Amino acid sequence: MASEQSTTAILERLIGFASVSSESNLDIVSWIEDYLSQYGVASRRIPDRSGRKASLLATIGPDDRAGVVLSAHTDVVPVAGQNWTTSPFAATRSPDRIIGRGATDMKGFIASVLAHVPDFKAAATATPVHIALSYDEEVGCLGAPDLVAEIAGLRETPLLCIVGEPTGLGIGYAHKGKVARRVVVTGRGGHSALPHRAANAVSAAARIAAFLDELALRTARDGPHNAAFDPPYTTIHVGSLHGGSALNFVPDRAALEFEVRYTPGADAAALLAQVDAAIARERDRLKAQAPEADITVEDMASYPALMTAPDSPAVRAAQRLAGHAGPAMTVSFGTEAGIYAQAGIPTVVCGPGDIARAHKADEWIAVTELAAADTMMQRLASQLGKPAKVWMNDDKQ
């Protein structure tokens, strides 16, 4: 039992679950449920519609007090096509690191949280800890909204949420939001010698792509600008454009995918309204040529931006817990943090490891990084006998 409690041993177990987003995550969820129940900690699943996936929420300590959320996702990105020198779903241990899919993104953080369940259990008399584990983060934060709604409905709203994505334990107080959409153009096919009787779907998609590029340039130039981000403005990007099969045939179908990554406070809705208007113009133009033509738009993924005030009690408390000397920073990647913040929970991004190692072959985390996360969890445990609003606002600690 003793070895089961160490962060490294738990991480090795967690890596062994191939919880790729396309697969069910119920195996890793039920292992964590069993682990928690060994310590008398009840947890509840928040399932998806298919029943193949679930988030897990466990509260340690008094549920009628304001607490701290420790948030992570259980899913990992695929390994197909990557050049792994180790087995991605069987942890490899070297003297200084653990290698395996999810080591840094973000099972190392989960392992450190779970290893400290006994400490939280013993200490949490005044501040509860909520362990919140989602699914399908890597394919667009699909699991988090239901989980966050559950947390927002707790008797007392938490005063701090730490999303343990890899920041080297630096405190991320802000990141951009994202909206990703797929545009499908249906035109009318026909012989290329008779284009006047057809409606060219590829041409319409190309005009939409050109509009998006123009809008991107205008947005970069006109702002709003926020120097805390790189680049310091909202970006608009066309990621794919497919259509057409032969030169002598007018294409009747095309599809493009684009994303908007917006700075906190930028009016993403206004930008998207401009895109919708451009798409409506193309739709009218196509329909004038072929009444059955159409353009549909579907949401692929979205998450809100994060903007927690860098001098807020949540950021300062997280800095003390992490023991990180540097100033709070923006992070370049998206997380579930914006969803928590939108629900009124002060949220930061802070976890062990380096995002540069995420999603890659031979993903790893250093043993020293895990030890630093453990120190953070111990510092948190040492505060749980006091109400959160007391220790979080005590800057002298």
List interacting residues with Zn ion (CB under 5 A): 105-106, 165
Q: Which is nearer to Zn ion, 105 or 136 (CB)?
A: 105
Residue whose structure tokens are 């931006």: 305
Minimum distance, C-beta of residue 218 to Zn ion, in the bound complex (Å):
32
Residue whose structure tokens are 């920041």: 167
Q: Which is nearer to Zn ion, 23 or 294 (CB)?
A: 23
Minimum distance, C-beta of residue 348 to Zn ion, in the bound complex (Å):
15
How many of the other CB atoms lie within 10 Å of CB of 225? 16
Nearest to 308 by CA among 260, 277, 349, 252: 349
Minimum distance, C-beta of residue 349 to Zn ion, in the bound complex (Å):
10
DSSP one-letter code for 393: T
Nearest to 383 by CA among 394, 375, 391: 391
Minimum distance, C-beta of residue 105 to Zn ion, in the bound complex (Å):
4
With b for 16 or more beta-carbon neighbours within 10 A and e for fewer, the 78-105 pattern comes to ebeeeebebebbebbeeeebbbbbbbbb
Minimum distance, C-beta of residue 45 to Zn ion, in the bound complex (Å):
21
Cβ–Cβ < 8 Å for 251, 236: no
Q: Which is nearer to Zn ion, 76 or 159 (CB)?
A: 76
Q: Which is nearer to Zn ion, 55 or 127 (CB)?
A: 55
Minimum distance, C-beta of residue 37 to Zn ion, in the bound complex (Å):
26
Minimum distance, C-beta of residue 317 to Zn ion, in the bound complex (Å):
23
Q: Which is nearer to Zn ion, 139 or 297 (CB)?
A: 139
Tokens of residue 120, six digits: 């939280």
Nearest to 103 by CA among 361, 381, 378, 374: 361
Minimum distance, C-beta of residue 120 to Zn ion, in the bound complex (Å):
23
Q: Which is nearer to Zn ion, 72 or 271 (CB)?
A: 72
Q: Which is nearer to Zn ion, 33 or 165 (CB)?
A: 165
Q: Which is nearer to Zn ion, 251 or 304 (CB)?
A: 304
Distance CA 69, CA 134 (A): 13
Minimum distance, C-beta of residue 73 to Zn ion, in the bound complex (Å):
6
Q: Which is nearer to Zn ion, 134 or 186 (CB)?
A: 134
Distance CA 203, CA 311 (A): 50
- For the residues of 270-288, what is the DSSP string, one character each? HHHHHHHHHHHHHHHHHHH
Q: How far is CA 290 from CA 195, 199, 284, 341, in A?
A: 11, 6, 10, 46
Minimum distance, C-beta of residue 355 to Zn ion, in the bound complex (Å):
8
Across the chain, the runs of DSSP E, i.e. the strands, are 43-47, 54-60, 68-73, 92-93, 97-99, 129-134, 160-163, 172-175, 177-186, 190-191, 235-243, 249-250, 253-262, 294-303, 306-307, 329-330, 347-349, 364-366
Q: Which is nearer to Zn ion, 201 or 318 (CB)?
A: 318
3-class DSSP state of 211: helix
**3-state SS of 169-195?**
CCCEEEECEEEEEEEEEECECEECCCH
Nearest-CB residue to Zn ion? 105
Tokens of residue 5, six digits: 């409690």
